Structure 1
Amino acid sequence: MVIVEDDPMVALLDRTFAEKDTRFQVIQSFQNGQSALDWLLEHQADLLILDVYMPQLTGLELLHALRAEGVQLDAIMVTAANDVQTVDALLKLGVVDYLVKPFTVERFQQALDAFCRHRAAMAGSAVDQDTLDRLFPASSLTGEHTPPKGMQEATLERIRSCLRTAPEQGLPSETLSRQTGLSVVTVRRYVSYLVEHGEAASTVNYDTGGRPCRLYHATQFIHPPAPQANE
Structure 2
Amino acid sequence: MKYINTIVVEDDADMLFFIETVIKNKSEYKLLGNATTFQNAKIIISALKPELVFLDNYLPDGTGIELMKYLRTFHPTIDVIFITAANDIDTIKTALRHGVFDYLIKPFLIDRLNECLGNYCDYINKQENLSWQQQDIDKMFRINLNNKDENLKEYPKGIDKITLLQVCNAFDGTHTEHTADSLGKYIGVSKSTARRYLEYCKLANMLEASITYGTIGRPERVYRLIYKMNTA
State the one-letter code of the partner of 2:93: D
Task: Specify every segment of 5 or more residues in structure 2 that has no aligned partner in the other structure, as ranges.
Answer: 1-5, 168-186, 201-232
Task: Report the CA distance shift for 1:130/1:17 in structure 2 as closer, same or farther (over 3 A).
Answer: same
User: Once the 2 structures are TM-superposed, how far is the Cα of residue 35 of structure 1 from its aligned partner?
Assistant: 0.6
User: Once the 2 structures are TM-superposed, how far is the Cα of residue 43 of structure 1 from its aligned partner?
Assistant: 2.4
Aligned residues: 171
CA distance in 2, matches of 1:201, 1:73: 35
- Written as runs of structure 1 = structure 2, the 5 A alignment for 1:70-219 is 70-137=75-142, 140=145, 176=157, 202-205=164-167, 206-208=187-189, 210=191, 211=194, 214=197
Q: Does the 8 Å CA contact 1:18/1:25 hold for their aligned counterparts?
A: yes
Q: Does the 8 Å CA contact 1:51/1:77 hold for their aligned counterparts?
A: yes
CA distance in 1, matches of 2:120, 2:10: 19
Q: Does the 8 Å CA contact 2:102/2:144 hold for their aligned counterparts?
A: no
More helix by share: 2
CA offsets, 1:13-64, max 9 Å, x none? Answer: 0111111211112111110121111221232101111100002221111110
Do residues 27 (structure 1) and 32 (structure 2) align?
yes
Q: Which residue number in structure 1 is paired with residue 172 of structure 2?
A: none
State the one-letter code of the partner of 2:33: Q
TM-score calculated relative to the size of structure 2: 0.64
TM-score calculated relative to the size of structure 1: 0.64
User: Once the 2 structures are TM-superposed, how far is the Cα of residue 144 of structure 1 from its aligned partner?
Assistant: 5.8
User: Once the 2 structures are TM-superposed, how far is the Cα of residue 123 of structure 1 from its aligned partner?
Assistant: 2.2
Task: Report the CA distance shift for 1:66/1:19 in structure 2 as closer, same or farther (over 3 A).
Answer: same
Q: Which residue number in structure 1 is paired with residue 183 of structure 2?
A: none
Q: Which residue number in structure 1 is paired with residue 74 of structure 2?
A: 69
Q: Which residue number in structure 2 is paired with residue 10 of structure 1?
A: 15
User: Once the 2 structures are TM-superposed, how far is the Cα of residue 3 of structure 1 from its aligned partner?
Assistant: 0.5
Q: Which residue number in structure 1 is paired with residue 46 of structure 2?
A: 41
User: Once the 2 structures are TM-superposed, how far is the Cα of residue 74 of structure 1 from its aligned partner?
Assistant: 0.8
Q: Percent identity?
A: 25
Task: Specify every segment of 5 or more residues in structure 1 that has no aligned partner in the other structure, as ranges.
Answer: 146-155, 164-172, 178-187, 217-231
Q: Does the 8 Å CA contact 1:100/1:201 hold for their aligned counterparts?
A: no
Q: Does the 8 Å CA contact 2:35/2:44 hold for their aligned counterparts?
A: no
CA distance in 1, matches of 2:166, 2:129: 45
Q: Does the 8 Å CA contact 2:119/2:143 hold for their aligned counterparts?
A: no
Task: Report the CA distance shift for 1:201/1:101 in structure 2 as closer, same or farther (over 3 A).
Answer: farther
Task: Report the CA distance shift for 1:138/1:10 in structure 2 as closer, same or farther (over 3 A).
Answer: closer
Q: Which residue number in structure 2 is paired with residue 150 of structure 1?
A: none
Q: Secondary structure at the match of 1:41?
A: helix
